């Protein structure tokens, strides 16, 4: 299942994230994919707001690899940009949280740890649009749970 959106501004991306954030609960893994500056952290701020987290707390864990936020449940925010190999990622012992039954996982540059994805997950892919403030947002679902969420995103 796939849905596509056109975001015409920073605010529209935040709002889309906010809407999705209100629909999700554990267990859920979201892979956030797209080039540098596409808006992965920005949409994560919207997702966080929808989950009841202060978006100002949300910053890319570029050096720490993972942040943990407290919502009604733990929210793990990954940034795998600096991971050179999947072996490095595994060696850090951080991949076990990908499949956490009681958490929501938001993973920037998730494709660098694709072997560790759970089977049912959402992918949010952001691409630069025609204008500098436009982004194409493509969302796909891989399984029963993620499809039921994607079905509710309008």
Chain residues in the site for Mg ion (CB under 5 A) = 40-41, 60, 108
Does residue 63 have a cis peptide bond before it, meaning omega lies within 30 degrees of 0? Answer: no
Burial letters for 69-78: b for 16+ Cβ neighbours within 10 Å, e otherwise? bebeeebbbb
- The nearest distance, CB 44 to Mg ion, in angstroms, is 7
Span 88-107, contacts to ligand ATP by CB under 6 A: none
Q: How far apart are CA 141 and CA 147, in angstroms?
A: 5
- The nearest distance, CB 103 to ligand ATP, in angstroms, is 21
Judge whether 138 and 4 are in contact, CB under 8 Å: yes
Span 27-86, contacts to ligand ATP by CB under 6 A: 34, 36-42, 60, 81
Between 110 and 145, name the residue whose CB sits nearer to ligand ATP: 110
Between 39 and 145, name the residue whose CB sits nearer to Mg ion: 39
Tokens of 36: 């540098």
Between 43 and 103, name the residue whose CB sits nearer to ligand ATP: 43
Pick the binder of ligand ATP from 4, 9, 64, 119 (CB under 6 A): 9
Judge whether 30 and 139 are in contact, CB under 8 Å: no
Residue with tokens 């975001």: 7
User: Which chain residues interact with ligand ATP by CB under 6 A?
Assistant: 7, 9-10, 12-13, 34, 36-42, 60, 81, 108, 133-135
């Amino acid at each position: 299942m796939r849905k596509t959106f056109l975001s015409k501004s920073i605010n529209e991306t935040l709002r889309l994230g906010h809407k999705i954030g209100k629909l999700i609960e554990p267990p859920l893994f979201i892979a956030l994919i797209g080039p540098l500056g596409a808006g992965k952290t920005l949409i994560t701020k919207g997702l966080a707001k929808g989950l009841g987290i202060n978006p100002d707390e949300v910053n890319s864990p570029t050096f720490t690899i993972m942040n943990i936020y407290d919502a009604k449940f733990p929210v793990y925010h990954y940034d795998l940009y600096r991971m050179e190999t999947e072996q490095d990622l595994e060696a850090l012992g951080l991949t076990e949280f990908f499949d956490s039954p009681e958490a929501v996982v938001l993973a920037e540059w998730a494709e660098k740890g694709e072997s560790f994805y759970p089977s049912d997950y959402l992918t949010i892919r952001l691409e630069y649009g025609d204008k500098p403030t436009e982004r194409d947002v493509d969302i796909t679902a891989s399984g029963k749970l993620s499809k039921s969420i994607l079905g509710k995103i309008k």
